[in-house]
Chain A
Amino acid sequence: MTPKRIPRVGIGGPVGSGKTMLIEQIIPILSAKGYKAGIISNDVVSKEDAERMRRNLAADKGLLPEELVIGVATGGCPHTAVREDPSINLAVVEEIESKHNYLDLILIESGGDNITTTFSPALADYFIYIIDVTGGDKYPRKRGLGIENCDLLIINKIDIAPYVGADLKIMERDAKIVRGSKPTVFVNSKTGQGVDTVVSSIISDVLFEAPPKTSKSLVKN
């Protein structure tokens, strides 16, 4: 029998925009609410992100087993790995679904620029795109598949906006023009500011407010 599909959230964004740190903020909040998630990290040139999440979320905080943070090498083609040929990501998702069907959610992280990054609908049910203010307040206005098409746009590192000359009001205005009614959230992943709103969006728009599947702990004491 084919295991039941676990809801999947794709998190894309340029290198250094804060994808990994966002996940490190999301997982503890989800965990406190009883939701259990696995993580797939598409690394462009290193295993660093997957190893960092394994260390911070699994080893140090015990929020999930280390085997539920899985790194995927992309041959230098992160866009391809989550868009036109997501074969390896899908294979990993299916392995998680067959071994860990009690999970409420799978987060799939991938680096990728704002011009071309999107997730294949076969791979992700919901697409979060994250940018930061250091690219300047023109970023949303310059559009691109990621910024225009994502279900939730996150603008990160808002604490340093004044220092890089980025006007958050301009970014908010332009995001509305480019994205219509689709939401944009301003976040500081370092302090966690705004991350509650991101988690609420996931629970309402991806999990449809369903309660956690199991109350059992995933980590052996």
Chain B
Amino acid sequence: MDTNIDSEDISILQMSDSFFPTGLYATSSGLEALSQVKKLKSKDIFQYLDNYLQQVIGPSDCTALGNAYESCKKRDIASLLHTDESLYYRRIIEETRTASVRSGNQLLKCVSTFAKNKKMLKEYQIAISTGNATGVYPVSFGVVTASLDIPKKKAGLILLYGFAVTIVGAALRLGILQHFEGQKVIHDLKPVILQSVLENIDRPISSMWQFAPGLDILQMKHENMSSKMFIT
């Protein structure tokens, strides 16, 4: 019998499955706004995701995830709450901030129904219910992957891969890509995802950063569009 596989591997598959309920399928992270001012092609989607992963999701979300994960393993609720607060205030787009908090809280609720090791998960939920934390998604993701004993770097890969799949899914629904092109974009992003995780998963929270002002402005414009399918 092959013993090189275990239930944590299945947890990895479960958490990376787009069927897992988080509500993130309703986000396009500004892509819908961009598609209304510029005719986009497959290579543009790659470029968009390349920039987003390297300038925002890697140094910001992946860093927050790594710190939240370590806090859980060390059972350090104070540092977990500090990471939560640090990331929440970096979400400068209101719709994105609200959606991230809503998805994060639903993620915690869902995993709390089946995770065995959930002491920190419960403590985090209590902190949220008492107004001492927000549950912003990447931090919640760090908490649940630690609870499920998914290795930290694998958790980082799932987060970034999930983001890429969400945006490719949005591009498909917006009619920018066809389905084979979507998979090619995801394939081409593999080195970017890998590098972003390795560069950022162990970054201290004090040096977390993000810089994508063009993307921020796009999302701000998108918030006020009267006709749209996506949450920014």
* Interface: A81 (CB within 8 A): yes
User: Cα distance A72–B230 when bound, in Å?
Assistant: 9
Is the CB of A77 closer than 8 A to any CB of chain B?
yes
Residues of B in contact, count (CB < 8 Å): 24
A211 to B170, CA, bound (A): 45
Complex contact B22–A76 (CB within 8 A): no
Given A81-B26, A84-B21, A75 contacting B102 (CB threshold 8 A): no
> Is B228 close to A, CB under 8 A?
yes
Question: What residues on B are CB-neighbors of A44 within 8 Å?
Answer: 229
Residues of the B chain whose Cβ atoms lie less than 8 Å from the Cβ of A88: 23, 26, 99, 102-103, 106, 231
Give the CA-CA distance A47 to B170 in the complex, in Å.
18
Q: Which A residues are CB-close (under 8 A) to B103?
A: 87-88, 91
Task: State whether the Cβ of A29 lies closer than 8 Å to any Cβ in chain B.
Answer: no
Cβ-defined contact, A87 with B106, below 8 A: yes
Which residues from B are CB-within-8-Å of A197? Answer: none
The residue in A47, A73, A74 that gathers the most chain B C-beta atoms within 10 A of its C-beta is: A73
- Chain A interface mostly: mixed
Say yes or no: is A85 at the interface (Cβ < 8 Å to chain B). Answer: yes
Find chain B residues with CB under 8 A from A84 CB.
19, 21
Query: Nearest Cβ in chain B — how far from A192, in angstroms?
Result: 29
- Is B173 positioned at the interface, with any CB of A under 8 Å from its CB? yes
A81: chain B residues at CB < 8 Å are 23, 26
- Report A's interface with B, CB cutoff 8 A: 44-48, 51, 72-77, 80-81, 84-88, 90-92, 94
Would you list the 4 A-B pairs with minimal beta carbon distance, nearest first? Answer: A75-B26, A91-B102, A87-B23, A88-B23
